[in-house]
Amino acid sequence: MTHKVTDESRRMVENAAGMGMTHEDISLLLGIRDPKTLRRRYRRELDSGMPKAKLQVATKLFEKCMAGDNTAIIWWEKTRAGRSDRLTLATPDGQPLQFQEVPPEPELIGQYYERLAKIAADRAARRSSEPLGREGIPDAGGSEEPGTG
């Protein structure tokens, strides 16, 4: 049985190619045994499918940007306009800054941990002196039980 090319099959091949389907899969959908036959009969549709799909997606993205869709705008800026949300530090002549790792001083690390321990102890002491609410959680506002006021 030979495959008959129709306007409908041309549209289907172009759409499938635009969605990234393989020639083998498109051939199966059309009932064509050999993908070479698909390429011979549908060369134009196979070649134009992806560019047309990209145009449709880009058009929709642009419309969303123009409508104020922040997510679309950010994506556009990062992928199309070359912008980035990363900060690059540079010297006055534009060269990236070079950083070198400095080993920590043991004395400073000890002081840091002592300070953290003091902060944690202060917080624990404050929590233990606060009145407890209904669920046993410190009551920040000093509110009364429902129905007592």
* Domain spans of the chain, in order of start: 7-57
The pTM is what?
A: 0.52
CA distance linking residue 44 with residue 17, whole number of Å: 11
Mention every residue, 6+ apart, whose C-beta is less than 8 A from residue 17.
26, 45, 46, 47, 48, 49, 50
- Of all residues in the chain, the percent with pLDDT exceeding 70 is 86
Q: How many CB atoms lie within 10 A of CB 145?
A: 8
Q: Kindly report, residue by residue over 5-24, the tens digit of the pLDDT.
A: 999 999 999 999 999 999 99
At 32-46, the pLDDT tens digits run 999 999 999 999 999
